[in-house]
Structure 1
Amino acid sequence: MATEHALFTAALGLSAPWKVSDIRFDAQAKRIDFDITFTSGSRFACPACGAEAQAVHDTRQRSWQHLHFFEHQAYIHAAVPRVRCQDCGKTTQVEVPWARPGSGFSQLFEAMVITLCQQMSVQKVANYLGVGDDPIWRILNHYVEAARAQEDFSNVRAVGIDETASRRGHNYITVFQDLDDRRLLFACEGRNQSTIGAFVADLHDHGGDRDSVEAVCIDMSKAYIAGVQRYLPEAAITFDAFHVVQLANQAVDEVRRAEVRLEPALKRTRWVWLKDASRHTLKQLTELHYLSRTRLKTARAWRLKEALREILTGSGARREAEQNLNAWYSWARRCRLEPFKRLALTLKAHWQGILNAFDSRLSNGPVESMNGQIQVAKGRARGFRTTKNLISICYLIAGKLTHLPASPYGTICRSAVA
């Protein structure tokens, strides 16, 4: 029995004065329990002031859920000592080496939770581990907050800002990405000017400086523009080409919806005009080939949109892009299509931000990709009960947090070992 106890003492990673004193196995309940004790006469450091070699005052019985042993749930039980410090006079419970203070789970169990939640929904993780989802969320929130507290934002120079839906209806969170490191820096509820202020405060809390942010890539939201101008005054605003083309697509669709009443050929052709040509089906390509050569207003609108896309994606230097955009602007203002005349004025009002893209070469493509990851996680979980939970998952899957607990089941390459 002593050999068995020594084996499990080593398996649990315990060191003196801690050791396994008893093992209880219930095959019917599929459960194994480990009793842990400390060597009689042991002394501990005071958790309050750090004074060494304090005598044990009394003990308190505690239990923690541990990683499964094979298919069996495992629990650790210990009479945890309290010390009455001779230096500070406080009576404080000693911290055990296998669990963080206040937790009902071992650190290895919590590390497994973090690992699984990066790939699975919280509910599935809870079901797999045999616990409720509320304890899983408490573990996630604790470790995500602790890991973020150690993040360094001092090298942040370029930031992408966008919103993503948090739940049905007009409910959004704003996300901020470091466009150089492709990591989520900050997320908060809402999509107004104050979200930029909240980001700047968080940036300073992590060693960053708002004056060091040289460029910000956003859509044409008035709230974001005002927020950047107020809270990031040194940053050059770049308007993402994707959002500019999106506005052009909206103008095309507005023309099509007005014309379809008179032109039956336009029925059920919405995506023919809006989709990228590389994603068209053969049928859509055939329709586009025919319709784009007609005298339809929608065809003219589509040609305007495609010309704008070509300028934004194919122009080289800023001067070349400005010449091309000026020509496009003149065409759009004379095209006799009201949606495009309005679009031309919108682009003129945001002219410098559009041209800045040809200097900074920034795009919100990485932010859109991150938003896609977030929406996949949201769909996997079938939504989140609170916005705080959603934001925690955002940091977990997109924050590239370097201070999270490592997986307890890290793999080792056999050839490297050999």
Structure 2
Amino acid sequence: MTVDWFHVVQLFTRAVDDVRKAEARLVKMPSAVRWAVLKARERNLTQKQAVALAELEAGGLLTAVAWQIKEKLRWVRIAPTLQAARWRLSHFIRHARKKVSLGPMLDPVLTAIKTVEKQKERILRRWASTYSNARMEALNGIFKAARARARGYRNAQTFITMIYLIAAPLSELFKST
């Protein structure tokens, strides 16, 4: 079993969002921080979001700590070899655990760290394995599109037929006749 990297990032993104929501109940957050913490620092940030992140970090908020932990995860992802990934992941976990000790509001991030520790070997298989769940995610998208188009089905056979009609390479079928 190999854990897809998308799911590791998703785990930490949800944790950061949970910390942001909890902290927003207590402290006034910069206006564009909601979407800014969900993005990478170096990509796709608007000017407002970049300013919001700078304010967040300067304010010493726990959301900034959670976001920094999530950003450090990107460093693990770009490891060139399995050995480098193992070292980086271990270093990331140690670093993140130290940062999380700042307060109980960071508990969602601690839960994410514990999950990564538990699934560490499955996550590291990503560097040795050629397997990915990308095809399954693509199929899931087709299933959701079929369900959305029909707005419900009366029986499973009709649902299956719609999936075949959407996913089948009909242009290839018509070329052969």
TM range (shorter): 0.7 to 0.9
Report the TM-score, using the length of structure 2 for normalisation: 0.79
Q: How many Å apart are 1:341 and its aligned residue? A: 1.9
Whose radius of gyration is greater, 1 or 2?
A: 1
Q: 1:354 aligns with which of 123, 130, 139?
A: 123
Equivalent residue runs for 1:265-344 within 5 Å: 265-266=29-30, 269-276=33-40, 278-312=43-77, 314-335=78-99, 336=101, 337-344=106-113
C-alpha contact 1:256 1:266 (8 A) present in aligned 2? no
Does 2:29 align with 1:260? no
Q: Which amino acid aligns with 2:147?
A: K
Aligned length: 170
Matching of residue 369 in structure 1 with residue 134 in structure 2: no
In 2 relative to 1, CA 255–382 (structure 1 residues): closer, same or farther, beyond 3 Å? Answer: same
AA matched with 2:13: N
Q: How does 1:83-94 map to 2 (within 5 A)?
A: none
Contact 2:30 2:52 in 1 (8 A): no
Give the AA of the match of 1:340: V
Q: Which residue of 2 aligns with 1:157?
A: none
381, 403, 406: which one aligns with 2:173: 406
Structure 2 partner of 1:24? none
Q: What CA distance in whole angstroms lies between the structure 2 residues aligned with 1:288 and 1:371?
A: 34
Q: 1-side partners of 2:158 and 2:39: how far apart?
A: 34
User: So what's the TM-score if we normalise by structure 1?
Assistant: 0.37
Cα distance between partner residues in 2 of 1:356 and 1:399: 33
The reply to whether residue 239 of structure 1 matches residue 3 of structure 2 is: yes
Structure 2: which 5+ residue stretches go unaligned?
none
CA distance in 2, matches of 1:343, 1:281: 28
> Whose strand fraction is larger, Structure 1's or Structure 2's?
1
CA distance in structure 2 between the partners assigned to 1:320 and 1:260 by the alignment: 37
Q: Distance in 1 between matches of 2:19 and 2:166?
A: 40
Aligned partner of 1:311: which letter? Answer: V
Instruction: Return the letter of the residue paired with 1:274.
Output: L
RMSD: 2.9
When you count helix as a share of all residues, which structure comes out higher?
A: 2
Cα pair 1:333 1:340 within 8 Å, conserved: no
CA, structure 1 residues 317+398, in 2 after alignment: closer, same or farther (shift >3 Å)?
Answer: farther
Q: Percent identity?
A: 36
Aligned to 2:163: 394
The letter of the residue matching 2:33 is T
Mapping of 1:113-124 within 5 angstroms? Answer: none
Larger RCO (CA under 8 A, 6+ residues apart)? 2
Q: Name the CA distance, whole Å, in 1 between partners of 2:53 and 2:34.
A: 11
* Secondary structure, counterpart of 2:92 in structure 1: helix
Q: Is the contact between residue 272 and residue 285 of structure 1 (CA under 8 Å) also seen in structure 2?
A: yes
CA shift digits 1:226-249 (9 cap, x unpaired): xxxxxxxxxxx0001111111101
Asked if 2 retains the 8 angstrom alpha-carbon contact of 1:384 and 1:390, the reply is: yes
Deviation at 1:319, TM superposition (A): 0.7
